[in-house]
Amino acid sequence: MWKPAILLKKKRLSHIDHTQLKAFCTWEDIKKLCDEAIEYNTASVCIPPSYIERIKETYGDKINICTVIGFPLGYNTTETKVFEVKDAIAKGCNEVDMVINIGDVKNGDFDKVETEIRTLKEAAGDKVLKVIVETCYLTEEEKIKLCQCVTNAKADYIKTSTGFGTDGATIEDIRLFSKNIGPNVKMKAAGGVKSREDLEMFLDAGCDRIGTSSAVKMLEIE
């Protein structure tokens, strides 16, 4: 029988996208991430696209692979992002986290943003698409409009941040998302989730996924 504390820890970890996206991450770093993900049964590993094939060859179906698209700045063309999505899936990826074109948001071209999200969801098919909106650069009005774009385009998740911007996830943004997304859109908090208290706060607020490189470390100290 699992003890209640262990069951709670396992439940928390099942919501984690165990993440390593540093520009200088090595294969040793990626292997450590994957081994931890298997040991602790995290939701996925979120890794650079260049490592997808090697992970698939090494670990097979033992691990759920997530990668990033148009990362971290989002201003790749839609055609480039579509290629990235299809290439990632062909190499063994099950989930893709795309970055929107923030310039389009600032230009007020929300139809273009929504069209791009819809196009990438079509490219992803039955695979999971998460939409990174990079909240640190947005006004409240822009965040609300992006909730509508993500919902209308039938993406699977709205995600706060890349972790490479000027700020990361905030509880205020998650509460705002919760009020403005459709019932079929889930939420992912990422960027700056460093403590067990952060993790619990975002999960309690309704996040289905948490993107962090710190989850295993923060829960090991319990």
Q: Which residues are catalytic?
A: 97, 159, 188
Angle formed by the axes of helices 140-152 and 110-124, to 10°? Answer: 40
The structure tokens listed for 99 are 């970055």
Instruction: Give the Cα separation of 120 and 140 in Å (integer).
Output: 25
- The upper half-sphere exposure of residue 216, i.e. CA atoms within 13 Å in the direction of its Cβ, equals 19
Q: Give the 3-state secondary structure of the chain.
A: CCCHHHHHHHHHHCCEEEECCCCCCCHHHHHHHHHHHHHHCCCEEEECHHHHHHHHHHHHHHCCEEEEECCCCCCCCHHHHHHHHHHHHHHCCCEEEEECCHHHHHCCCHHHHHHHHHHHHHHHCCCEEEEECCHHHCCHHHHHHHHHHHHHCCCCEEECCCCCCCCCCCHHHHHHHHHHCCCCCEEEEECCCCCHHHHHHHHHCCCCEEEECCHHHHHHCC
